[in-house]
């Protein structure tokens, strides 16, 4: 999931870019965001650990070792977290749950995928890219479920799953549209 790595890099970049103007200049680079607190080493370590876990999961997914990829990501969820669970941590955890849900649905474990999606949504309550991404993955999960049910001859359940997929994709689009509007106030297409 190269998209996850991109999102994680954005979180890390935002955390780092506004911490200080440079190592030689103690003035905040983003004074409106600086609360006088240096970059948290535990947060940086967590973000690095998360990036590494997702790289490992990428390799395992490429080798079709989905069970091992899920296990690596679940270890990240169980591991130590920076104190106070800052926004960046909640975002990484919710995105990791989305990734696990995707992998679980590839394995045909749809209930497990849904459990991870719901836990991710519990973490990502605000209107953010991460919440929208969880709904996007829910759509993918339901598409896979629909195909599996259809292959088994359960056309009614397959159609229900297909409708859930479409509803999840529509919700994702609404959330991401709102994220864009919130990011660029007053800018109209």
The beta strand positions in the chain, using DSSP E, are none
Q: Which residues are CB-contacts of 5 (< 8 A; sequence separation ≥ 6)?
A: 51, 54, 55
Q: Per residue of the chain (189 residues), give pLDDT as tens.
A: 544 444 444 444 344 434 333 334 444 445 455 555 667 899 999 999 999 999 999 999 999 999 999 999 999 999 999 988 889 999 999 999 999 999 999 999 999 999 999 999 999 999 999 999 999 999 999 999 999 999 999 999 999 999 999 999 999 999 999 999 999 876 555
What was the pLDDT predicted at 188? Answer: 58
Residue at 167 is within a domain: yes
Residue at 188 is within a domain: no
Residue at 189 is within a domain: no
What was the pLDDT predicted at 38? Answer: 64
Residue at 162 is within a domain: yes
What was the pLDDT predicted at 11? Answer: 45
Residue at 179 is within a domain: yes
Distance separating alpha carbons of residues 163 and 168, to the nearest angstrom: 9
What was the pLDDT predicted at 10? Answer: 40
Query: Containing domain of residue 59, as a range?
Result: 2-183
Distance separating alpha carbons of residues 88 and 124, to the nearest angstrom: 11
Residue at 97 is within a domain: yes
Distance separating alpha carbons of residues 119 and 99, to the nearest angstrom: 12
Structure letter (DSSP) for residue 35? -
CATH of the domain at 115: 1.25.40.10
Tokens 């991870």 correspond to what residue?
Answer: 116
What was the pLDDT predicted at 106? Answer: 97
Residue at 64 is within a domain: yes
Structural domain tally of the chain? 1
The answer to whether residues 99 and 87 touch, using CB atoms and an 8 Å cutoff, is no
Residue at 132 is within a domain: yes
Phi, psi for residue 21 in degrees, rounded to 5:
-65, -45
pTM passes above 0.75: yes
């Amino acid at each position: 999931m190269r998209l996850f790595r991109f999102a994680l890099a954005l979180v890390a970049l935002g955390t780092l870019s506004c911490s200080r103007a440079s190592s030689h200049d103690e003035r905040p680079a983003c004074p409106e965001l600086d609360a006088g607190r240096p970059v948290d080493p535990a947060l940086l370590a967590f973000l690095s650990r998360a990036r590494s876990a997702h790289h490992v999961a990428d390799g395992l997914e490429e080798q079709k070792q989905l069970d091992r990829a899920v296990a690596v990501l679940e270890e990240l969820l169980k591991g130590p977290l920076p104190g106070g669970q800052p926004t960046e941590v909640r975002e990484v955890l919710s995105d990791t749950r989305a990734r696990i849900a995707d992998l679980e649905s590839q394995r045909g474990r749809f209930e497990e995928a849904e459990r991870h999606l719901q836990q991710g949504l519990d973490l990502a309550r605000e209107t953010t890219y991460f919440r929208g991404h969880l709904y996007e993955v829910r759509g993918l999960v339901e598409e896979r479920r629909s195909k599996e049910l259809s292959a088994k001859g359960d056309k009614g359940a397959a159609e229900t799953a297909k409708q859930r997929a479409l509803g999840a994709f529509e919700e994702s689009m609404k959330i991401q549209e709102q994220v864009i509007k919130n990011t660029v106030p007053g800018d109209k297409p």
